Structure 1
């Protein structure tokens, strides 16, 4: 008795990694379904069955990026005793990680257009774009709690300053700026620390 063959099995995680790299390199609109199927080595029915729509696949790829590449960068905030050293480590990690030759340059999150007509995509991107500022602000407040940073310092504005520097580094990395150039940017940005986050002389 002959029957229909079983669908070809595939490594879902590895397929998602390939989708992430393609979306990261070409963006949502610039990536076709045919390109996705070729990179992921699956057919259209398997793609839709495993991931849903192209939009769903993109959002899952975005989350994978944040939990892997994003984690590599932003986990530096919690590896150092001082907030100053933590933020410097984030900027240096940005320079190192987003210029690697084995994957697309720049940041997947920041280089994706927020003007997409797809509401779920816009919301997902906005949530991830806001996370770094909140993480920086929370780390600065920990610095206040440990008395590294004075109580008068506006942690929100300082977080936005360094968050914008980090985002700018990610954007020019996409345009081809090399690691050493970005490391110099990080050095210049940290050189302003004592002016915008003066050492607390007294509480």
Structure 2
């Protein structure tokens, strides 16, 4: 009698599986992406998913971290590399237009769209906290611009940060609705015309022409 040997569990490429999960959550959001959807696109069984990533919420948390590094880092780069606050915010919007419409992945921003109709308060709050952190970084960069004399001393840095945050969120939804990269870039250019400058109205027009 032949004894059947127990086979080893099928291995899988973890980074590839995480990327596939990222695409699923990005396209469909947290709420409507089921565990069966995830196991199908990742090519693994439910027990393997739980063993490798934990539950759906834990997997999504890892997806968000991966997304921030691989797709959402354009803002941080712009803020680190551009010498002016206006240059940093303007570049962020231009690069967002590129990322949001890249045909190699779902449209828009995962952190903006993934919590739509989400019934998990912890997931919703985690994404809200990330968006709030982004707004805080906008305000901090704008405040540095005020201190450097790039913007008027009385600039409402909080409101200006929220304005560009709203533009970014709107661009994400526009991308989900089919807007082209050129159309989103035009939105960004229009938004930058609202940028206050220490030089007054003439300075605004000159800065707009140089964008």
TM-score of the pair, normalised by structure 2? 0.87
Once the 2 structures are TM-superposed, how far is the Cα of residue 64 of structure 1 from its aligned partner?
A: 1.4
Return the offset for 1:184: 0.7
Deviating above 6 A after TM superposition, structure 1's stretches of 4 or more consecutive aligned residues are none
Count residues with an aligned counterpart.
Answer: 198
- SS class of match (1:104): coil
How far 1:69 sits from its partner (Å)? Answer: 1.0
Counterpart of 1:177 in 2: which secondary structure? coil
The 3-state SS of whatever aligns with 2:62 is: helix
> CA separation in 2, counterparts of 1:191 and 1:25?
32
Structure 2 SS opposite 1:27: helix
Q: What is aligned with 2:99? A: 97
Q: Which residue of 2 aligns with 1:51?
A: 53
| Gapped regions of structure 1 (runs ≥ 5) | none
Equivalent in the alignment of 1:199: 198
* 1:76 Cα deviation after fit: 1.2
Q: CA RMSD in A?
A: 1.8
Is contact 1:99–1:173 with CA below 8 Å preserved after alignment?
yes
What is the deviation of 1:200?
6.0
Post-superposition shift, 1:115? 5.1
Cα distance in 2 for residues equivalent to 1:85 and 1:121: 33
Q: How does 1:1-203 map to 2 (within 5 A)?
A: 3-113=5-115, 116-193=118-195, 197-199=196-198
